[in-house]
Amino acid sequence: MKFDIYDFSVLTSSIHELLRSVMGETSVMITEMVIVGIVFLTLFSVLGLVLIYIERKVCAFFQQRLGPMRVGFWGTAQTVADAIKLLLKEPLMTKSADKFLFNLAPFIIIISSFMAIAAVPFALGLQALDLNIGVFYVTAISSIGVAGILIAGWASNNKYSLIGAIRSGAQIVSYELSVGLSILTIVVLTGSLQFSEIIESQRDGWWIFRGHIPAFIAFVIFLIAGTAETNRGPFDLAEAESELTAGFHTEYSGMKFAFFFLAEFVNMFIISAIGATMFLGGWMPLHFGELTSFNEIMDFIPPLFWFLGKTFFIIFIMMWFKWTFPRLRIDQLLTLEWKYLLPINLINILIMAFIVLMGWHF
Amino acid sequence: MSVKEVQNSKESQEYFVNMGPQHPSTHGVLRLLLTLDGETITNVEPHLGYIHRSIEKMCERDSYQQIVHLTDRMDYLSCHMNNEAVCLAVEKGLEMEIPERVKVIRTIISELTRLSSHQLWWGVMGMDLGAITSFLYGFRDREMITDIFEETCGARLTMNYNIPGGLMFDIPSNFQTKVKEFIIHFRKKLPEYDQLMTNNIIFRNRTEGVGILTKEDAISYGVTGPSGRASGWNNDIRKIKPYSAYDRVEFKEITYTKGDSFARYKVRIDEMWESMNIIEQLIDNIPEGNYKEKTRVVIKLPKTEIYQSVETARGELGVYINSDGKKSPYRVKFRSPGLSNLNALNSMAKGGKIADLVTIMSTIDLVIPDIDR
């Protein structure tokens, strides 16, 4: 395959060799961990800044305005300026807040998304953790975040925050099911929970094309449930600024508020990345079974671009419906999940299993 | 009971939430004391007075010309209609004949005000439901009307154009072309409102069957305007007691029977179409003549009682003037639509969710300075 020329494992293994030549086994491992940690920290903040800028611009164009234009070229430095402002702000805390939990909550949320992003396959050979239960790991880790939201709502000692946190708890616990089941539909097809193998299995075509209608239904359900799990509109009931002022993070200010904000955007990236990996082939270029020359041309586009392109495509769809739809009500939200998405998902997964059993998929 | 005792007691207590006076969806400084059972509302108690400026008392001090300028601080979105109400009342007291030109221009201005008020309401309603995009769409179209008003009277928010006896200035020469341009523009844009909100499934679910107000309740609470007409009560003052030029234009009185939030929404959307019809009928037929009748510098009403009502964007605005023959009135009372519409809030919101309360509040279209005065 042509895209092997873009293999990142050449780079990573050469760094590994270089480190091996100067230090011992244990210190190499520690050094590499530190390097990976720093790379992810940088990625995390850069991703946050870029995504916030994109969201502002996308939302502005949907609303027939220009968005940030003053700071930097086309407002590109606006988010940096905002980050500096948030860093310099005083972290306020109400007198009656539970101080320990209040300070802990943002870190739980940020740690959960930090851990989840480690399993995301960015490109060929560019993945920090290629666990053999990768899918399971991501779904498990990403649900830790809800604990952070619940703690934030409780510790703030604010009635709006508490309502927002309880809403968010009900919402995330419910929609976790749909996310998990729609991912399982693809796992049924691939027969593996490992991200690298899932991507490898899409060498001849992405699952959304090859998996018949059930794969498409699973993709749509994944989009809906994924948006709900990241607490974004039209499912942003935990914040619901017109009802609960700012929901669970009403009392937070400064950098602690920024952590919630950053985690929301990075969670959106993770959900989109998982969606791109499961349904759209991750970093795998667009291939159509027999068209060899077409496939080879596609292989010249580096996998990282494929991955980012697909991920940002899904992010764009999420922003699209955030800025178009009104917000759901809490009972409608739960009805949608338990009465519609979950039964459809279960039947869908059965159909998919049947298709795989009969060998009908392409 | 002290705080400690409350915390230690095993009995469950009602969950109180103070919604407002600073809250994004109370549209001003209204404070609602909510009693909640989980997410379900068991009682809503509005607390008023945060923006009370004692306008009625100030009216007893001021001359009749000055009273007009106080009224646009009440319902600032229908300021031209408020001014018109006072002017009509004073003219009634003086038994003045008003030139035809003034009547027609007043009607056009009133309908433009209604349009701009409904546009803003539509945008804000979307924002209350979580669709922020509609807010900017509404403001985009409202901008054109505000520009027209700026050229006619010089202000963009608290506008004063009507004075007892006529208008402050004549209309500018490009008034007719600008209004026609706006109508052409808005006839194209109003279907966009339907595309974005009316036919959206989430929007339908959020509004249909939410906050039902029966016709009997609407009448007994005195819920006028679009909110009352959505319950099937024909209460349009423009039809019942025509003033200005409303007796010579053809328009439908929009009524729906369901009385839920969606009916209230539809009434306003349809009223925008009707307002455009009214303006189109009049804009080419503005009669020539004086733009104001001469009045005395110090207006003294004879010893009478006058009641004059107009249909603002929110309902019936009544102006009661009790004159004792002096240069300022003995007593002025405004029957503001906002206050009586707010009364029905509890009966509509009880049993609903917190999100429903927000929907109901935006569909009865509250303007807080109108409630408090």
Q: What is the pLDDT of residue B169?
A: 85
* Contact in structure between B83 and B109 (CB atoms under 8 Å): no
Alpha-carbon distance of A236 to A328, in angstroms, equals 8
β B166-167/B331-335 pair status? unpaired
Q: What is the pLDDT of residue A29?
A: 83
Q: What is the pLDDT of residue A265?
A: 87
3-state secondary structure of B278: helix
Which residues in chain B have their CB less than 8 angstroms from residue A242's CB? 24-25, 127-130, 358
* Contact in structure between A141 and A112 (CB atoms under 8 Å): yes
Phi/psi for B310 (5° steps) reads: -130, 160
Interface test with B, best of A243, A320, A327 (most B CBs within 10 A): A243
Quick check: A150 pLDDT over 60? yes
Quick check: A203 pLDDT over 80? no
Looking at residues A303-320, what average pLDDT do you find? Answer: 88
Alpha-carbon distance of B152 to B160, in angstroms, equals 10
Residue B60: inside a domain: yes
Burial class for B246, CB neighbours closer than 10 Å (0-12, 13-18, 19+): buried
Alpha-carbon distance of A307 to A281, in angstroms, equals 8
Percent of chain A's residues with pLDDT above 70: 98
Alpha-carbon distance of A347 to A109, in angstroms, equals 33
3-state helix, strand, coil in chain A (%, to 5): 70, 0, 30
Residue B360: inside a domain: yes
Phi/psi for A59 (5° steps) reads: -65, -40
Asked if the peptide bond before residue A234 counts as cis, ω within 30 degrees of 0, the response is yes
Chain A residue with minimum CA distance to B26: A242
Q: What is the pLDDT of residue B3?
A: 61
Q: What is the pLDDT of residue A141?
A: 87
B310-349 residues touching A, CB cutoff 8 A:
none
Alpha-carbon distance of B311 to B160, in angstroms, equals 18
pTM of the model: 0.85
Alpha-carbon distance of B84 to B167, in angstroms, equals 10
Each residue of A174-212: b (16+ CB within 10 Å) or e?
A: bbbbbbbbbbbbbbbbbebbbbbebbebbeebbbbbbbb
Q: What is the pLDDT of residue B6?
A: 62
Alpha-carbon distance of B21 to B362, in angstroms, equals 16
Range of the domain at B244: 52-372
Give Cα separations from B286 to A348, B34, B67, B88, B171 (angstroms): 66, 51, 28, 19, 10
Contact A63 B137 (CB under 8 A): yes
Which residues in chain B have their CB less than 8 angstroms from residue A243's CB? 25, 354-355, 358
Chain B residue with minimum CA distance to A333: B202
Name residues of chain B where pLDDT drops below 70: 1-10, 12
Alpha-carbon distance of A76 to A49, in angstroms, equals 9
Quick check: A2 pLDDT over 70? no
Which residues in chain A have their CB less than 8 angstroms from residue B136's CB? 63-65
Name the domain count of chain B: 1
For residue B89, the tally of other CB atoms under 10 A from its CB is 26
Which residues in chain A have their CB less than 8 angstroms from residue B130's CB? 233-234, 236, 240, 242, 325-327
DSSP track, B70-103: HHTTTSGGGHHHHHHHHHHHHHHHHTPPPPHHHH
* Amino acid present at B79: C
Query: Domain of B350: which CATH number?
Result: 1.10.645.10
Quick check: A131 pLDDT over 70? yes
Residue B33: inside a domain: no
* Contact in structure between A228 and A175 (CB atoms under 8 Å): yes
Alpha-carbon distance of A359 to B15, in angstroms, equals 57
Q: Does B185 touch chain A (CB under 8 A)?
A: no
Q: How many CB pairs under 8 A join A and B?
A: 80
- Residues A33-57 have pLDDT tens digits of 888 888 888 888 888 888 889 888 9
* Contact in structure between A196 and A121 (CB atoms under 8 Å): yes
Give Cα separations from A351 to A188, A361, B147 (angstroms): 11, 11, 60
Of B90, B151, B353, the residue nearest A327 (C-alpha): B353
Kindly state the helix (H) or strand (E) to which residue B163 belongs, with its residue range. Answer: strand B162-163
Quick check: A65 pLDDT over 60? yes
* Contact in structure between B269 and B80 (CB atoms under 8 Å): no
Looking at residues A245-262, what average pLDDT do you find? Answer: 83
Distance from CA of B77 to the nearest CA of A (A): 21
Alpha-carbon distance of A286 to A280, in angstroms, equals 9
* Residue A199 binned pLDDT confidence (cut-offs 50, 70, 90): confident
Q: What is the pLDDT of residue B288?
A: 86
Kindly state the helix (H) or strand (E) to which residue B150 belongs, with its residue range. Answer: helix B133-153
* Contact in structure between B259 and B231 (CB atoms under 8 Å): yes
Of B277, B286, B281, the residue nearest B254 (C-alpha): B277
- Residues A325-352 have pLDDT tens digits of 888 888 888 888 899 989 999 998 888 8
Kindly state the helix (H) or strand (E) to which residue B18 belongs, with its residue range. Answer: strand B15-19
Q: What is the pLDDT of residue B2?
A: 62
Alpha-carbon distance of A10 to A3, in angstroms, equals 13
Quick check: A322 pLDDT over 60? yes
Residue B367: inside a domain: yes
List own/partner pairs for A56-60 with CB under 8 A and 24 or more apart: A58/A316, A58/A319, A58/A320, A58/A323, A59/A319, A59/A322, A59/A323, A59/B132, A59/B133
* Contact in structure between B151 and B158 (CB atoms under 8 Å): no
The residues spanned by each domain of chain A are: 91-358
Burial class for A266, CB neighbours closer than 10 Å (0-12, 13-18, 19+): buried
Q: Locate A321 and state its tokens.
A: 């419906």
* Amino acid present at B15: Y
Quick check: A282 pLDDT over 80? no
Alpha-carbon distance of A272 to A252, in angstroms, equals 27
